[in-house]
């Protein structure tokens, strides 16, 4: 069995113009478990090294030799590479600190400092970096989701418009023509005209019901989540050719409407993805209560996929379905986990607080 891959050490670039101080800082940083890059005493070189090595953090002295001081170097590194900077300085003058603010520093360490002070500042700065990265990823996901949701809305409106025009519109036109024909000939109207009108109206009603069900099945509101999921499982099985098993607790109460809607749409998207990509023969849907949580799982025995690649596609907006499922889970205070391995199927798991 191969050993699990170890996490890469955090890399910190040290920029300090006093070499004795630089060596002391490097020893402290290394003793704290970080990988030391540099040190260098020039702002110009710090910019080059940051672009070459892509450190996780830069410890930057404000007063540097050369034409580029620490603040100017930090600003370039932050804008060009997005790497956060923590300033090392012996000066606490307001004008210097005010100028340093434009670089959006992740912290300040005033010389002389202890190893404990350095450890605290570095830990907070690296935590802020992780939080910033998560926020950036979330922002990108929301932007991509908003853009694709608008596109999906327009596609759905176009589909509904075509349905109304091509199907229902033709039925109503046929009824109108028949009524005009009956009015013109009165008692001499063709035999069966009345029955034909009834047939056309019945067809139109079926079209309206089909359109309404496609938008939102009435049984979700009338009967609840379990019957709606059972109906959807049967519909998917009949259209796609795989077997669908649905299991739920018989004593399951009606959940809050927003939870039932989120569950229904998540299962709908999961089944759509299975139909398109998985080549599965069996699908299992489980709905149950676990302590104070509602748990919903959709498992298939299909081809599976690379979850890391899937998450990257979701971040860039290439997978609207995954983003939509994650957003629905978040809106009901839950979490969505997608696990899969190539040739071993996949499982979508929703957990959220139990609310009725």
Mean of per-residue pLDDT scores for the chain: 81
Q: Which residue has the higher pLDDT, 63 or 290?
A: 290
- The reply to whether 217-353 shares the fold of 11-113 is no
Contact 325, 348 (CB under 8 A): yes
Percent helix / strand / coil, the chain, rounded to 5: 60, 20, 25
Q: What is the dihedral of CA 123, 124, 126, 127, to 10 degrees?
A: 110
26's CB contacts (< 8 A; 6+ apart) are 14, 36, 38, 39
Q: Which residue has the higher pLDDT, 252 or 272?
A: 272
CA 93 to chain centre: 44
| Integer Cα distance of 327 and 307 in angstroms | 18
Q: What pLDDT is stored for residue 5 in this prediction?
A: 44
Domain 217-353 has CATH 3.40.190.10: no
Cα angle 273, 275, 278 (rounded to 5 degrees) comes to 75
The pair of structure tokens assigned to 189 is 């109207």
Q: Which CATH number fits domain 11-113: 1.10.540.10, 2.80.10.50, 3.40.50.2300, 3.40.50.11540?
A: 3.40.50.2300
Question: Residue 1 — pLDDT band, cuts 50, 70, 90?
Answer: very low
pTM (predicted TM-score): 0.51
Give the residue extent of every domain in the chain: 11-113, 147-214, 217-353
Length of the chain (residues): 356
Q: Which residues pair with 247 in a beta bridge?
A: 286
- For the chain, how far is it from start to end, CA to CA, in angstroms? 47
> What is the mean pLDDT of the segment spanning 76-86?
90
């Amino acid at each position: 069995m191969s050993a699990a891959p170890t996490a890469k050490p955090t890399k910190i670039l040290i920029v300090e113009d006093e070499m004795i101080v630089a060596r002391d800082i490097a020893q402290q940083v290394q003793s704290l478990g970080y990988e030391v890059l540099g040190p260098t005493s020039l702002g110009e070189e710090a910019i080059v090294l940051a672009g070459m090595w892509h450190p996780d953090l830069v410890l930057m002295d404000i007063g540097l030799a050369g034409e580029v001081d620490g603040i100017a170097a930090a600003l370039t590194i932050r804008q060009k590479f997005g790497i956060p900077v923590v300033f090392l300085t012996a000066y606490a003058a307001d004008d210097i600190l005010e100028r340093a603010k434009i670089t959006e520093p992740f912290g300040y360490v005033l010389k002389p400092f202890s190893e404990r002070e350095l450890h605290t500042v570095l830990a907070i700065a690296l935590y802020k970096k992780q939080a910033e990265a998560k926020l950036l990823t979330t922002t990108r996901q929301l932007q991509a989701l908003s853009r694709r949701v608008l596109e999906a809305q327009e596609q759905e409106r176009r589909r509904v418009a075509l349905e109304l025009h091509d199907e229902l519109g033709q039925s109503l036109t046929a009824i109108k023509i028949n009524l005009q024909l009956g009015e013109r000939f009165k008692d001499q109207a063709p035999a069966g005209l009345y029955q034909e009108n009834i047939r056309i109206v019945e067809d139109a009603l079926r079209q309206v019901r089909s359109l309404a069900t496609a938008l939102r099945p009435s049984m979700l509101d009338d009967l609840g989540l379990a019957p709606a999921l059972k109906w959807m499982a049967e519909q998917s099985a009949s259209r796609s050719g795989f077997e669908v098993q649905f299991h739920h607790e018989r004593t399951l109460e009606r959940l809050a409407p927003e939870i039932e809607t989120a569950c229904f749409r998540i299962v709908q998207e999961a089944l759509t993805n299975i139909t398109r990509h998985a080549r599965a023969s069996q699908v299992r849907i489980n709905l149950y209560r676990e302590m104070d949580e509602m748990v919903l799982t959709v498992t298939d025995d299909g081809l599976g996929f690379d979850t890391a690649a899937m998450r990257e596609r979701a971040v860039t907006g290439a997978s609207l379905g995954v983003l939509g499922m994650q957003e629905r889970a978040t809106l009901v205070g839950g979490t969505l986990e997608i696990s899969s391995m190539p040739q071993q199927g996949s499982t979508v798991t929703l957990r959220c607080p139990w609310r009725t």
